[in-house]
Structure 1
Amino acid sequence: MPGLGGPSVRTRQYGPRLGSAESMAPLLWVHGGAFIGGGLDQNESHAVALGIAATGRPVITVDYRLAPAVNWLKPLAERDLKPGTRYPAALDDVSAALQWIANRAPHVVLGGASAGAALAAATVLRNRDSGGFRPDALALAYGTFHSALPEVSPALRRRIRGWHGITQFRPSTVDRMNLNYAGSHAALTDPYAFPGNADVTGFPPTLLLDADRDSLRSSGEKFRDELTSAGVHTRHQVVPRSRHGFLDRPGRSAYDIGFETIIDWLASHDPEKS
């Protein structure tokens, strides 16, 4: 599909033909991958889309432009950034895909996981401020919404201690990931890069789905509080005994719980049920 003033955007469509199932709003789903990885074939994109489309809902997944790879073990400064595509390229691609669908369907829901959840929320924020299309609802899984990792609560710290802490996102890791995506410290403060801490008044009803043993849950919890304070209808659910990226692991109980929660949320926000 056409890009937003740039190259064309690669997408994949699942389920009923767009516009043929008026009672079910199509879903635009955005994969994760720390802004540097993932794609249309990863389970977090393909398996989720297949399952949702099997309920009769059109699903479109988007292959947005990725930032260059980063060394997670080394400190990162602006001068160390590799040449490549960065913010707002990925955001432009998601925005273009949403507008393309909105031109063909009166109602659209938007969702994503991890970096994809951040991109989905940022798309809503930018569209709100520019007068663009507003999706009917949001479904966001284990997102990273803030430019820096918010303080981990004592309750969450208890869930990620011991061997559960080995693979966690640490503040320094999040700093590298986000600077690598944003491209500069100045861009890190742009709310369209990371919508956490922004005024989210006017957001559509939002599902926040977090992993039990995931330090990034601190971002989901803070974003929940920001949405609630802005008067946005928000549901926050933590999947028990789960780790970050559980939608990338079909066949496990955490995937099943997360998937069914998203299905129920989408069904409750179809136009005829609103």
Structure 2
Amino acid sequence: MLQLVHDYNTRFICSLEEDIKSETRSGLETALLALLRGPLGHDAHTLDKALNRMGTDEDALMDVLLCRSNADIRAIAAEYKRVTRRDLVVDIKDDVDDALFRLCSMILAATRAEGAAPVLAHEVDAKVTELQRATEGMIGTNAVSVAQIFTSSNAAQIAAMAEAYQRKYHRSLQEVIEKEFRGDMEDALLRMLTAAQNRAAWDAFRLREGLTKRKDKLLINRVVSLYWDQPRLQAAKEAYKKFHVTLAKEVKDLFKGDLEDVILALIREK
């Protein structure tokens, strides 16, 4: 893509990005500019737009930061600083409530267990006990403790904790989170939990949310992120069938024109 941009700009003595902005609109513009920026550049741009506006776009913020590897987080924070000349953690602190900021600051510390880290029964049991103490086992909720456990664990470890919590306390961890938390913190924890238990189903749900609620920019960002990860895209398309319709059919039913065409192209159905 960098070579394409360079060749276009050199040959026509103009900016491909500026030409896209002047010649396209809405969803098509969003999709083309996302592809032009590439995965890392688009993550940084999405964060800048989510934070640099009247009211924070928490959905976009969490789409970029949650369930990412430590390497991804470090690269995103560095690219954000390079592009904006601002510190991401400072911008987040200025824009979100204290609970969500603490969660984001833990994520940006990039201390999550790596994907290959094993699931150890004694560690899972200890974390499950701590989760119960920090939620149902006390008056009030120790949100910091819960956030620390979630942000320091990889997907397999979180999934194991959910299973162990159900066995030990005869309640689902999802029910506990829904009971003990509200707002952005509840949403973030549920996102991490659900993605850990079944990433493909979670991706399918996120796509359908953008489609049926007509959150076009959010949908395009989510589609583009999957376009860059073809195995995840194919898994999400397969999981989407649980809604008794294919992703391509849903797109064709809900969109027309350029937006339909670009989404179908991104999901490899055109």
TM-score normalized with structure 1 length: 0.27
| Greater length-normalized contact order (CA 8 Å, ≥ 6 residues apart) | 1
Query: Whose helix fraction is larger, Structure 1's or Structure 2's?
Result: 2
Tell which structure's C-alpha radius of gyration is larger: 2
TM-score normalized with structure 2 length: 0.27
Query: Whose strand fraction is larger, Structure 1's or Structure 2's?
Result: 1
